[in-house]
């Protein structure tokens, strides 16, 4: 294979990987269409009112809010859908209207805190009893792993950028750098994507959690699912892993 084609292929794959990673980073930074469409994890709470109702005995008043602009985390009412990104999370009262938290570097993934900090205090106490010993409620575990995963994804993005820019120059040393960078980037994105996949998978246990109520059992009414940000990260990993081959070939054979 000619060196030029190799470099072209490797650069193209690095470029696609970087683009995918940029999409991963913008997920949930605000509620406009593209960021709204990209999340690492989603939590649908729409069935929770009924579950709480069944375990509480009395009808639940004022659990949810319809006011999509009211700030999050201030007990203003639960939203139907929570979507988590790398820098913030957004909560929506329907499929489109919602609000987001402030941006934080290495934002923690703490879905249980996000939900309960929007409820009245006494409902929070009830849910603490309902979700005791679930991974969803283990906010320190989830938060820590998400922060670690964030740094792997951030470093992976930086190495993918280095691979892209050093790969276009016609110098043997730079080919060596781009090969090394694309291998490092692939490895870091793999770790970041695997951590996210694992923590969301563990949270999904609440989807089938049966709560004991006076006359039987009900589902928790909370549905956790993977966001497409996780799939984008896996796709970026695949592109970076594929790009290492042509980079390596160019590195060893290119005589430009």
Ligand X SMILES: *[C@@H]1O[C@H](CO)[C@@H](O)[C@H](O)[C@H]1NC(C)=O
Site for ligand X, rule CB under 6 A = 44, 46, 67-71, 80-81, 93-97, 102, 215-216, 223
CB of 107 to ligand X, least distance (A): 12
Provide the Cα torsion 119, 120, 126, 131; round to 10°: 20
Q: What is the DSSP string of 126-174?
A: HHHHHTTT-TTT-HHHHHHHHHHHHHHHHHHHHHHHHHHHHHTS--HHH
For residues 195-207, one letter each, b for 16 or more C-beta atoms within 10 angstroms of the residue's C-beta and e for the rest, the string is bbbebbebbbebe
Residue (12 or 126) nearer to ligand X, CB: 126
Q: What angle do CA 219, 83, 17 make, to 5 degrees?
A: 125
CB of 205 to ligand X, least distance (A): 17
- Tell me how far apart the alpha carbons of residues 179 and 183 are, in angstroms, rounded to a whole number: 6
Q: Residue 227: left (phi > 0), alpha (psi -120 to 50), or beta?
A: beta
- Tell me how far apart the alpha carbons of residues 158 and 17 are, in angstroms, rounded to a whole number: 11
- Tell me how far apart the alpha carbons of residues 139 and 127 are, in angstroms, rounded to a whole number: 14
CB of 76 to ligand X, least distance (A): 7
- Tell me how far apart the alpha carbons of residues 131 and 115 are, in angstroms, rounded to a whole number: 12
Residue (148 or 213) nearer to ligand X, CB: 213
- Tell me how far apart the alpha carbons of residues 224 and 115 are, in angstroms, rounded to a whole number: 12
Residue (22 or 211) nearer to ligand X, CB: 211
Residue (68 or 151) nearer to ligand X, CB: 68
CB of 105 to ligand X, least distance (A): 13
Residue (158 or 209) nearer to ligand X, CB: 209
Residue (97 or 173) nearer to ligand X, CB: 97
Strand partners, 42: 83, 225
CB of 113 to ligand X, least distance (A): 13
CB of 160 to ligand X, least distance (A): 31
- Tell me how far apart the alpha carbons of residues 139 and 249 are, in angstroms, rounded to a whole number: 45
Residue (171 or 212) nearer to ligand X, CB: 212
CB of 104 to ligand X, least distance (A): 9
């Amino acid at each position: 294979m000619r060196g030029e084609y190799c470099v072209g292929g490797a650069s193209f794959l690095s470029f696609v990987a970087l683009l995918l990673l940029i999409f991963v980073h913008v997920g949930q930074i605000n509620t406009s269409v593209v960021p709204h469409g990209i999340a690492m994890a989603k939590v649908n709470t729409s069935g929770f009112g009924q579950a709480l109702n069944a375990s509480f005995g009395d009808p639940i008043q004022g659990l949810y809010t319809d006011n999509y602009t009211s700030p999050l985390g201030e007990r203003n009412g639960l939203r139907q859908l929570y979507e988590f990104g790398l820098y913030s999370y957004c909560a929506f009262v329907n499929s489109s209207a919602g609000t987001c938290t402030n941006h934080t570097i290495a934002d923690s993934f703490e879905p249980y805190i996000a939900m309960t900090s929007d409820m009245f205090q006494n409902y929070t106490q009830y849910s603490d009893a309902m979700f005791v010993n679930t991974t969803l409620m283990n906010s320190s575990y989830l938060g820590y792993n998400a922060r670690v995963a964030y740094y792997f994804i951030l470093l992976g993005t930086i190495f993918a950028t280095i691979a892209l820019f050093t790969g276009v120059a016609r110098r043997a040393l730079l080919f060596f750098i781009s090969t090394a960078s694309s291998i490092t980037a692939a490895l870091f994105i793999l770790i970041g994507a695997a951590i996210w996949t694992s923590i969301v998978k563990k949270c999904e246990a609440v989807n089938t959690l049966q709560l004991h109520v006076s006359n039987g059992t009900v589902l928790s009414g909370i549905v956790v699912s993977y966001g497409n940000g996780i799939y984008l990260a896996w796709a970026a990993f695949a592109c970076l892993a594929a790009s290492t081959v042509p980079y390596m070939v160019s590195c060893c054979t290119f005589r430009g």
